[in-house]
A = this chain, B = another copy of it.
């Protein structure tokens, strides 16, 4: 059996421990929701204050040049690139994940339309992150294409000769299950299908090798594992073989070949600048830089490989402790045990009918009771027994700032909440409008 002392010993030996000091962690909180909104880097308040007071307040319009606002999307992209197996000059940080997905999916469909006009389908997973499906649905509706949604085990069979694009999220937001990007991409390519990968739950969480996998297009999120701040701009990557064929209808001024010539006709810039559209929120973009700086600091400590090893150690530990210490309370495991199939989160299930008075699963109330104790995870609703998806208690593990003792303490809170029946209290069973 693992003990608290074991956990402390592991933390004492942890070479990544100094990275925790790069963050301001709120007092009394064990934050297991970095896959929803990452915590604040310690450098962020001063950096943002400088952007506001000096770059905006004092230097004003001159900051386009002097503070290099103009190439900030590319500079941040270059800083992010090593985390996802991209080269320099291949990534931009800009817009939202949804808007970037629209761009790259449009571009992929434009290439497919030229090269294989008979291919009229986009395939994705039914349990992909909903906004990805909504964007694909909007685009398919606009173009008269068909969006085909399948279960993960049916993806290979769905890759038929009429498919233009396979659009997947690398790590599933509900379960933490991870695709084998290289194998899936190779399979799709062998059938003439382009691959779009969403790295929302991968960038900064697991090693990604977009170039190694020969992926075609990719996008991802700045405010989860990259700790870029609430609603931080997202990113987009395009394999260099497609860069100069990249065409998308969000053709705004910042993607123009001569953005300050103010000519009436659109000429896309060479290379990645053409993935840009309108003027970017510079203050939020600067906050993202603080998040990326921590990964730069992690480089000499082993970078993504070391972070991955620690992430797996933490999620292994969490699974083991839950199974050892919280047995008999109806929890199941939604996240794969195999390391190659797991992202940086652990999702527990609870069956329908285990809630208060047999109504619902009680998972929502357990998450609320944990939050009241300062253990912040989140709840993802299942299909209420109507389908295969159970209610989920979701816990993200960010190796940059979490330790083994945090995991121990989180599980102890979970055990107490379950054993004491604390989760049955009425205040934890009233579902809030938002969350």
B281 pairs with A281, CB closer than 8 A: yes
Chain B hits for A282, CB < 8 A: 229-231, 284
Contacts of A262 in B (CB 8 A): 130, 174, 380-381
Interface bracket on A: 35 or more
Which residues on B sit within 8 Å (CB–CB) of A252? 96, 98-99, 131, 134-135
CA distance A250 to B381 in the complex (A): 25
Residues of A in contact with B (beta carbons under 8 Å apart): 24, 26, 29, 31, 33, 36-37, 39-40, 44-45, 48-49, 52-53, 55-65, 69-70, 95-99, 102, 106, 126-128, 130-131, 133-135, 137-139, 141-142, 149, 174, 223, 229-234, 248-253, 256, 260-266, 277-285, 287, 371, 376, 378, 380-381, 432-435
Note all chain B residues with C-beta closer than 8 A to A65.
432-435
Contact B60 A37 (CB under 8 A): yes
**Copies of this chain present:** 2
A to B CB contacts below 8 Å, 22 in the list: A40-B52, A44-B52, A48-B48, A48-B49, A56-B229, A61-B378, A61-B435, A62-B376, A95-B96, A97-B279, A102-B250, A130-B253, A131-B252, A137-B251, A138-B251, A138-B266, A141-B249, A174-B262, A230-B281, A231-B282, A234-B278, A260-B381
Task: Give the distance to chain B from A313, nearest Cβ to Cβ, in Å.
Answer: 24
Q: Is the CB of B49 within 8 A of A96?
A: no
Q: Which residues from B are CB-within-8-Å of A45? A: 49, 52-53, 57
Q: Given A44-B52, A65-B432, A435-B64, A232 and B281 touching (CB < 8 A)?
A: yes
Most buried by B among A69, A131, A261, A434: A131
The answer to whether A249 touches B284, judged by C-beta atoms less than 8 angstroms apart, is: no
Given known contacts A49-B49, A52-B44, A284-B282, A24 and B57 CB-to-CB distance under 8 angstroms: yes
Residues of B within 8 A of A265 (CB): 133, 137
Give the Cβ gap from A266 to chain B, nearest Cβ, in Å: 4
Q: Quick one: which of B52, B55, B97, B380 contacts A48, CB cutoff 8 A?
A: B52
- Tell me if B39 and A60 are in contact (CB < 8 A): yes
The verdict on A278 contacting B230 (CB below 8 Å), with A33-B60, A57-B26, A376-B61 known, is no
Cα(A135)–Cα(B254), bound, Å: 11
